[in-house]
């Protein structure tokens, strides 16, 4: 894997013509040779399913929080946070929940909403710090779901820095641009006096999937449209991708996994012949002004919690910040009225949320604790774990990682964690394809989502909707949508003994 080898070269110099993907967002203490050996042993995949593994009850290491049965199960700080840093967590929580208002306002620290937006606060999308859901009716606005928009880039369009870099790597890049009139995502709300961009509509058809044991599962197949367009017709070649807000737990720990460890799992050309071709997402960092490994978002389009938070402020709420400072949010040059709309950049903050506020929200997001495992020694759970491993699910849902040793993030420093993800891009087949490329991700590729906490979705959010657009109404339905690289695993679940299938779901519900 020459590509991966080049990326793993140490230092800040070029690896041939390729910049090195360093973890520039972290203040790292290098691992010793003894630590490397210990980590290799600790992260080795088990072959013993007679009992839980050591430390398996704490999926976030020392940061693991006590499992709770209420709706606040995802809203507690890392268990190993200090008293002083817990105050920063609470301040960040306040900003995460804060409802932004239209400018000008007497509350200058809270104005700057829009002019067009998807939500008035971070919490309105990440409900109870958990998972969003699909509309429950045509007028349901509390869905924490939106549509990404783009169009193919014209051939004569200048290359962006990221596109130039990917081309240098030899990638066949599907180049895209924001939709000319509507920008990068559909904004379904607007401040007074302005038009929302439009309204997302979803229609479902049903498809039955026969299973072994005379069982039948029914999948709902979505189709998407937009009506009430506020700024003229969409481009005829528009690419639409639905996105449900993912859960927030454990983000700081995912951010602290060494890029080298993630890249070590990559096999973009499937050189080992196992049918799994995970590849790293590469993103241009707005903070560090160079390519970095993508980790966050359904297609791993952001490099760090800070940049993920900054892009959500701008794109979802219309709030400018030190990383993305456009006062009009996602408004385009075709939306002149929107560009002239009210904004809150004209006070002492400089941007509508300042650097301190952005960092507090990022700190809060990094430190939302992962709940402890439940029932992990139950016979059904242990059997389901073996089914999960034997079926090959761990080829993408890598069980264990050890985070970097960090100077200034004690909560995330040198923790053995169990997120069940490789953070790589995988082809998930035509059934899940959105046909909208993003960076190195094709229209069929998605980042492997972490599975920790997935069994508590019903407790926290009152539903069991999964996948990038919430189409799956159960964990079994989510598995049955797998295709592409995961098609053999999906087919194995369809064909296996119903008792094994039930045990597999029992294991997932214990995570």
Give SS3 for 80.
coil
Domain boundaries, the chain: 2-509
How far is Cα 78 from Cα 92, in angstroms, rounded to an integer?
Answer: 14
Whether the per-residue pLDDT at 143 is higher than 70: the answer is: no
pLDDT digits (tens, 9 = 90+) for 284-323: 999 999 999 999 999 999 999 999 999 999 999 999 999 9
pLDDT score at 9: 32
Whether the per-residue pLDDT at 417 is higher than 70: the answer is: yes
pLDDT score at 4: 41
How far is Cα 137 from Cα 272, in angstroms, rounded to an integer?
Answer: 47
Q: Which of 42-56, 229-243, 347-361 has the lowest mean pLDDT?
A: 347-361
Contact 478, 209 (CB under 8 A): no
Q: Assign 5 a pLDDT band (cuts: 50, 70, 90).
A: very low
Give SS3 for 311.
helix
3-state secondary structure 374-442: CCCCCHHHHHHHHHHHHCCHHHCCCCCEECCEECCCCCCCCCEECCCCCCCEEECCCCCCCCCCECCEC
Q: Which of 93-107, 251-265, 343-357, 432-446 has the lowest mean pLDDT?
A: 343-357
* pLDDT > 90: percent of the chain: 87
* Beta strands at 189-190 and 445-447: parallel, antiparallel or unpaired: unpaired
How far is Cα 324 from Cα 379, in angstroms, rounded to an integer?
Answer: 50
pLDDT digits (tens, 9 = 90+) for 449-499: 999 999 999 999 999 999 999 999 999 999 999 999 999 999 999 999 999
Give SS3 for 474.
coil
Segment 117-123 shows an average pLDDT of 95
How far is Cα 299 from Cα 447, in angstroms, rounded to an integer?
Answer: 5
pLDDT digits (tens, 9 = 90+) for 311-369: 999 999 999 999 999 989 999 999 999 999 988 877 778 899 999 999 999 999 999 99
pLDDT score at 8: 39
Interaxial angle between packed helices 498-509 and 379-390, expressed in degrees from 0 to 180 and rounded to the nearest 10 = 100
Nearest to 306 by CA among 265, 389, 366: 366
What is the pTM (predicted TM-score) of this model? Answer: 0.94
Give SS3 for 160.
coil
Write out the DSSP string of 195-226. ----EEEEEEEEEEEEEGGGEEEEEEEEEEEE
pLDDT digits (tens, 9 = 90+) for 67-92: 999 999 999 999 999 999 999 999 99
How far is Cα 148 from Cα 418, in angstroms, rounded to an integer?
Answer: 30
Nearest to 43 by CA among 486, 385, 403: 403
Whether the per-residue pLDDT at 16 is higher than 70: the answer is: no
Whether the per-residue pLDDT at 2 is higher than 60: the answer is: no
Q: Assign 107 a pLDDT band (cuts: 50, 70, 90).
A: confident
Mean predicted lDDT score pLDDT of the chain: 93
pLDDT score at 142: 54
């Amino acid at each position: 894997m020459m590509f991966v080898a080049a990326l793993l070269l140490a230092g800040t110099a070029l690896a041939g013509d390729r910049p090195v993907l360093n973890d520039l967002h972290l203040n790292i203490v290098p691992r010793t040779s003894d630590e490397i050996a210990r980590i290799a042993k600790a992260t080795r995949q088990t072959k013993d399913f007679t009992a839980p593994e050591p430390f398996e009850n704490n999926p976030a290491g020392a940061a693991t929080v006590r499992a709770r049965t209420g709706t606040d199960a995802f809203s507690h700080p890392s268990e190993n946070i200090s008293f002083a840093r817990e105050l920063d967590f609470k301040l960040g929580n306040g900003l995460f929940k804060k409802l932004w208002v239209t400018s000008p306002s007497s509350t200058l620290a809270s104005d700057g909403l829009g002019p067009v937006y998807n939500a008035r606060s971070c919490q309105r999308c990440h409900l109870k710090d958990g998972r969003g859901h699909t509309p429950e009716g045509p007028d349901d606005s509390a869905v924490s779901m939106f549509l990404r928009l783009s169009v193919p880039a014209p051939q004569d369009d200048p290359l962006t820095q990221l596109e130039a870099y990917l081309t240098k790597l030899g990638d066949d890049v599907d180049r895209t641009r924001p939709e000319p009139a509507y920008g990068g995502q559909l904004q379904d709300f607007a401040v007074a006096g302005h038009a929302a961009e439009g309204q997302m509509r979803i229609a479902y058809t049903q498809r039955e999937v026969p299973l072994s044991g005379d069982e039948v599962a029914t999948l709902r197949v979505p189709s998407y449209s937009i009506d009430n367009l506020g700024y003229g017709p969409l481009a005829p070649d528009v690419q639409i991708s639905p996105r449900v807000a993912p859960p927030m737990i454990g983000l700081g720990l995912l951010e602290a996994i060494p890029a080298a460890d993630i890249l070590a799992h990559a096999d973009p050309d499937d050189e080992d012949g196992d049918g799994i071709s995970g590849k790293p997402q590469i993103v241009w960092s707005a903070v560090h002004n160079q390519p970095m490994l993508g980790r966050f978002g359904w297609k791993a389009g952001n490099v760090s919690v800070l940049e993920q938070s900054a892009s959500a402020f701008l794109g979802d709420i219309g709030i400018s910040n030190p990383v993305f400072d456009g006062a009009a949010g996602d408004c385009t040059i075709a939306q002149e009225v929107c560009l002239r709309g009210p904004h809150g950049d004209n006070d002492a903050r400089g941007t509508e949320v300042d650097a301190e506020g952005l960092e507090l929200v990022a700190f809060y997001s990094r430190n939302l604790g992962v709940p402890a495992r439940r029932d992990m020694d139950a016979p059904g759970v242990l059997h389901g774990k073996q089914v999960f491993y034997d079926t090959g699910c761990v080829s993408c849902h890598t069980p264990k990682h050890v985070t970097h040793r960090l100077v200034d993030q004690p909560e995330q420093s040198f923790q053995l964690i169990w997120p069940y993800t490789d953070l790589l891009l995988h082809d998930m087949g035509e059934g899940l394809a959105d046909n909208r490329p993003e960076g190195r991700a094709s229209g069929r590729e998605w980042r492997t989502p972490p599975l920790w906490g997935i069994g508590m979705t019903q407790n926290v959010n009152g539903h069991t909707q999964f996948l990038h657009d919430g189409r799956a109404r159960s964990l079994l339905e989510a598995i049955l949508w797998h295709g592409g690289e995961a098609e053999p695993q999906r087919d194995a679940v369809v064909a296996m003994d119903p008792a094994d299938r039930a045990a597999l779901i029992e294991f997932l519900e214990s995570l």
